[in-house]
Every structure is written in structure tokens, then in C-alpha cells.
Amino acid sequence: MDFATLFWLQEVEESPLIQVELAFVILLSVAAGVAILTRRIRLPYTVALVLMGLALSFVPNPFEIELSSEIILALLVPPLIFEATLNLKWEQLRRNLLPVLLLAVAGTLASTFIVAGLVMAMSRALLPGFQMPWLAAVAFGALISATDPVAVLAFFRNLGVGKRLSVLIEGESLFNDGVAIVLFNITIGAAVAMNATGDTTITLGAALAEFLWVSLGGLAVGILLGLVVSYGVLKNVDDHLIETATTVALAYGAFVLAEQLHVSGILAVVAAGLFVGNIGSQNTSPTTKITLDNFWEFLAFVVNSLVFLLIGLETDLLAGRPSLPLILTAVVAVAFSRAVVVYALTGLHSLLDRKGRIPVPFRHVMFWGGLRGAISLALALTISDVVFEPTVAQEVRRMTFGVVLFTLIVQGTIISPLLNRLGLAGRPEQKLQQQRQQALLYAARAGKGELDRLHKEGILPADVWQAMAEVYTEEIRQRDRALRQLLREHPELEQEFVLQGREDVLRAERSAINDAARRGLISEEVYDALIEETDQRAIALELIRSTWGMGSSHYE
């Protein structure tokens, strides 16, 4: 081997890009191995990833991987949130918007100051020599109070929870970061001002104005870009590769543009994803829909794996031992504040909306499912020694890592047994059989319909069409008999069919009422009355589902 080749190999080995690429390959391989392992053991995939990351943190790390706030918020979080909102239907979110906003706004505000007060009081009692400043306590309360969408979505995606419970938990986690980030930024700004001038005055008007600008501004950016992509690209461009690439640009572009305007990038991604998932996907071809679903599912798997592995890798358990009393204090404070917020606000919601009240078992899961993760870590990593004293900044970061680890490992491990205990998760074998038979019947009828269309348009000769049609017709008969037999053996599945059919009919009725209003056939007064009546019947159906011992709707 000549000198030039040796020199080139040395340059490759020392190249930062090659180091990053090699680290990515190794981490992705570890994630795939963990995924295979969790198929054989009863352990949530995300918990296994964090534990694997913790184990790898004790191994000498040849890669200089630093988990910065920019990597988390700008690179890893946008695709995860976008993929989640693609599957979040606006109709389901709208029905539960009041409790979601109560928890996301009032809940985060209350939790911030409850945690701050408890951390200050308990740390003073446990560690007389350590004084947690008020602004540092509030900053910690803000960054740790918002349930993290990355962690929540990762855990609840495959647990088989019902539609309403999933919407409540996911909706809160997607929206409450706006309040938390605003509170955190206001607090950090006050701390910087105090260090510079000694002035810590914060007016309520200024705080409210900043909250409205950051939150509504982020939503406006996402809505605008989501509409442009949904109607300008997905509706008019029939190319699944171009359309998929555009959604990737939208996910990151919405975040970057919003951040450049000093508004919430995460809320911009939420709004953009909602519009693409509810409008854009309806304007595109079946091929594009399949491509989008497969691509975003794969990307979410990859990014999720990297997030939780990096959390484990960046956690230094040995360095946190001197801070154990503060970490335990933070864990207790966060758990207490979460309990107060969930049970108090869901109780208030039940008084405001008796028909749409949240069942008590749901509240237990919402309390225990308040996971913290990547966003809390990202905010904690932005706290520099310039903002607070080095010791205080370090302790805030350690408390954050401690709470995140507790929620991911302890609460994350117990969530699945809790859901099973409350009867809110798991798909009975007969339900899986019903879904399989229904899907096969639906596919066979779709194939028969396409076959008939090809024959009608003269593409298929009569003899070929007749031979294939006979096969499809017999398959449809067999699938239909199998489904009917299953319904006779399990009457509860037939009840679910009735409810599902009624929901489909109600959606058709609502669409017809909207069409009648657009055509001018009914007045606005009649339209409002009919829509309200239709929505009340939809809520009643949802309540029936919720009171069926968390019945079959919770298996969908």
C-alpha cells in the first residue's frame, strides 16, 4: 500500500462526517437489535432503548456525540411530531378540544408553579446547605411540566389504547409545549436581566403578549404552509415521490420558518401535520397515501430509536449520585403536580361538559402517562452557567435527566400493565379475527370492482374477466360467511358494527348538511341547529363506547 493510500485512509478515519455516519450506522443497528429482542421479552421498546443507551454509556465511546438542544429540537423532534399529527383526525380532536386545551394551557401553568414551590421547599429541608433560586425553580418547573410528545407518542402508539384516550393524551402532549417553552423563555429572560441589571420585573401583559405571539404565530405558520402543500402540491401533483419529498420539506420548513419568526416551531409542525393528514391526504392518490404512510412510519421508527438511545447514552448515572436527594425531590414534585392537574382539571371538565365527561379509568392513565423526554432535555441543555450559577445550572440539568429517566423507565414499564388492569388495552383474539376477515372481504370486493371496471372499459377480454370474476365472487362468499359466523359467535362484535355503522351514517349526514348550506338550501340558523344536533348524537355514541367497560372502541 503506497503512502498516498495510507494518507487517504487516515483522513477518512479522522473525518467528522465519517465518524457521524459510522455512529449512525451503529446506533441504528443497535436499535434494530433491541426491536428484535423486545419481540421476545415483555418490555416496551422505548424502555429497552433507554436501558441499552445507559448500558452503552459505560463503554468507552469512540464517537464524540453530544446531545445538544439543537439536535433534539431542530433535527429529531419535527419528523416525530409531523408523523403523529398525520394520523390525528381533526374530528376526534375537535370533540376533545376543551379538555386538551385545559390540560395543555391551565395544566402546564399550574404544574410549573406547583413544581417550583415544592422543589424550593423540599430542597431547603433536605439540603440545608443548598439554596435553589426562585427563577431556577420556575425554569425547571416550566421545562418539566409539559408532557413530551416524543415520549408519549412512542409509548402509546402500540399499546392498543382507544381512540378517545389516545387523542386526549397525544393532543395534550402536542400542544402543551407552547406554554412550557414560553414560560421557560420568560423565566430565563428574567434571570439574564437580573444578572445584567438586577431588575426581575415581569409584567403580566408582556408575558401574555409573548404567549399569544409564540403560540398563535406558530399555529398560523403551520396552517399557512399546510394549506399551500395540501392544495398546491398534494392536490395537483400526481407523483408520490415528489409529494413525499414535499412533506419532508414541510415538516422541517415549518419548524425553521416559525423559529426564525420567534414563534413556536413545534406548534407550526403540529398545525402543518394536521392539515396534511386531514386535507392533503384526501386530495392525493392511493399510491401516494401508501407511500406517505410507509415513509413516515419508517422515519419515525429511526428517529425515535435515535432519541431514546441518545438519552441513555448522555445520562451519567455516576455523576448524578451526589444529586440524588434533589432528583428524588424533583420526581415527587412532578408526580404530585401531575396528579393535582389531571384529577382537578378533568373534574372541572366533567362539570362543564357532563355528556363528554372523561371516565375515571382514563384519568388514571392520563396521570401515569405524563411522560417527560426529549423536549425537557433540550430545554435543560440550553441553561448555561451564564444564566444561573454553575452549581444551580448543573443541578437543574441533573434533576431533568433524573425525572426523564424515571418517567421513561418506571412509568413507561408500568403503563402497559395499568392499561390491562383497567381494561383499556389489548386486542382480544376475536377482535383481531374480525378485523382480518373484514379487511379481506373489503379487499376482495375492491378487487372485484376494479376487475369489473377493466372489463367494462374493454381492457379485459370477456373470457378472462369471467374466469377471474368467478374466483373473486367465490372468495367474497367465503369471506362473508366467515365474518357472519364470527359475529354469531361473538355478539359484542356485532354491537361494535352497529355503532361503527351509526358513526359512518352520522358523518354522511353532517356532510350532507354542509352541502345543503353551501347550496343555499337551508338558512344559517337551521344549519347551526342541525349541526349541533348531529354533534350531540356523535358525542352520545362516544359516551356509549366509553361506558362499555371501555369496550370495543378501545381496541381500534
The model's pLDDT over 255-275, given as tens digits with 9 standing for 90+, comes to 999 999 988 888 899 999 999
Q: For residue 293, tell me if it sits in a domain.
A: yes
Q: For residue 357, tell me if it sits in a domain.
A: yes
* Highest mean pLDDT pick, 68-72, 368-372, 440-444: 368-372
> What is the arithmetic mean of pLDDT over 426-430?
58
Structure confidence at residue 191 (pLDDT): 83
Percent of the chain with pLDDT over 90: 19
User: Which band of pLDDT confidence, cut at 50, 70 and 90, is reported for residue 107?
Assistant: very high
The model's pLDDT over 170-183, given as tens digits with 9 standing for 90+, comes to 889 888 877 788 78
Structure confidence at residue 6 (pLDDT): 45
Q: For residue 224, tell me if it sits in a domain.
A: yes
User: Which band of pLDDT confidence, cut at 50, 70 and 90, is reported for residue 113?
Assistant: very high
Residue from 123, 16, 53, 63 nearest 374 by CA = 53
Answer yes or no: do 378 and 476 share one domain.
no
**Residue partners of 102: CB distance under 8 A and separation at least 6:** 345, 348, 349
* Grid coordinates given for 516: 345543503
In angstroms, the CA 398 to CA 349 distance is: 35
> What is the arithmetic mean of pLDDT over 428-446?
75
Q: For residue 16, tell me if it sits in a domain.
A: no
Answer yes or no: do 147 and 290 share one domain.
yes
- Could you tell me the CA-to-CA distances from 45 to 86, 416, 512 in Å, in that order? 22, 12, 44
The helices-and-strands tally (H runs, E runs) of the chain is 24, 0
Structure confidence at residue 7 (pLDDT): 45
Is the pLDDT reported for residue 428 higher than 60? no
User: Which band of pLDDT confidence, cut at 50, 70 and 90, is reported for residue 95?
Assistant: confident
> What is the arithmetic mean of pLDDT over 437-450?
82
**Residue 368: burial class (beta carbons within 10 Å; 0-12, 13-18, 19+):** buried
* Grid coordinates given for 221: 405558520
Domain that holds residue 520: 492-556
Structure confidence at residue 103 (pLDDT): 94
Q: What is the CATH number of the domain that holds 212?
A: 1.20.1530.20
Structure confidence at residue 537 (pLDDT): 77
In angstroms, the CA 456 to CA 454 distance is: 6
Answer yes or no: do 207 and 261 share one domain.
yes
- Which spans in 373-490 are helix H? 374-381, 390-405, 412-422, 429-456, 462-489
Structure confidence at residue 164 (pLDDT): 82
- Could you tell me the CA-to-CA distances from 356 to 169, 213, 330 in Å, in that order? 16, 31, 34
Out of 469, 489, 509, a domain closes at 489
> What is the arithmetic mean of pLDDT over 33-54?
82
Answer yes or no: do 353 and 443 share one domain.
no
> What is the arithmetic mean of pLDDT over 330-342?
95
Answer yes or no: do 497 and 465 share one domain.
no
Percent of the chain with pLDDT over 70: 84
Structure confidence at residue 551 (pLDDT): 41
Answer yes or no: do 177 and 288 share one domain.
yes
Is the pLDDT reported for residue 554 higher than 50? no
Answer yes or no: do 544 and 415 share one domain.
no
Q: For residue 52, tell me if it sits in a domain.
A: no
The model's pLDDT over 286-323, given as tens digits with 9 standing for 90+, comes to 777 778 888 998 888 888 888 888 887 777 655 655 57
How many structural domains does the chain have? 3
27-36, 110-119, 148-157, 453-462: least confident range: 148-157
* Highest mean pLDDT pick, 59-63, 113-117, 449-453, 511-515: 113-117
* Highest mean pLDDT pick, 236-240, 401-405, 531-535: 401-405
Answer yes or no: do 224 and 269 share one domain.
yes
Out of 398, 422, 446, a domain closes at 422
Structure confidence at residue 556 (pLDDT): 37
The residue with greater pLDDT, 101 or 38, is 101
* Grid coordinates given for 361: 379509568
- Could you tell me the CA-to-CA distances from 449 to 281, 288, 441 in Å, in that order? 23, 21, 12
Answer yes or no: do 403 and 509 share one domain.
no
Query: Mean pLDDT, the chain, as a whole number?
Result: 81
Q: For residue 522, tell me if it sits in a domain.
A: yes
The model's pLDDT over 408-426, given as tens digits with 9 standing for 90+, comes to 888 888 887 888 788 776 5
- Neighbour tally for 555: CB within 10 Å: 21
> What is the arithmetic mean of pLDDT over 333-337?
95
* Grid coordinates given for 400: 431533568
Structure confidence at residue 550 (pLDDT): 38
CA torsion sign for 85, 90, 91, 95 is positive
* Grid coordinates given for 211: 404567549
Phi then psi for 386, rounded to 5 degrees?
-75, -30
Phi then psi for 42, rounded to 5 degrees?
-90, 80
* Grid coordinates given for 124: 431547603
In angstroms, the CA 212 to CA 263 distance is: 9
Is the pLDDT reported for residue 5 higher than 90? no
User: Which band of pLDDT confidence, cut at 50, 70 and 90, is reported for residue 110?
Assistant: very high
> What is the arithmetic mean of pLDDT over 208-230?
90
Answer yes or no: do 405 and 502 share one domain.
no
- Neighbour tally for 257: CB within 10 Å: 17
Structure confidence at residue 158 (pLDDT): 60
Is the pLDDT reported for residue 245 higher than 50? yes
Q: For residue 477, tell me if it sits in a domain.
A: yes
Out of 471, 489, 507, a domain closes at 489
Q: For residue 200, tell me if it sits in a domain.
A: yes
Answer yes or no: do 484 and 503 share one domain.
no
* Residue 438 three-state SS: helix
> What is the arithmetic mean of pLDDT over 162-167?
80
Phi then psi for 147, rounded to 5 degrees?
-65, 135
Answer yes or no: do 327 and 374 share one domain.
yes
28-42, 91-105, 216-230: least confident range: 28-42
* Residue 131 three-state SS: coil
The alpha carbon of residue 379 and the mean position of all alpha carbons in its chain are separated, in whole angstroms, by 18
- Could you tell me the CA-to-CA distances from 284 to 9, 232, 239, 274, 279 in Å, in that order? 48, 11, 9, 15, 9
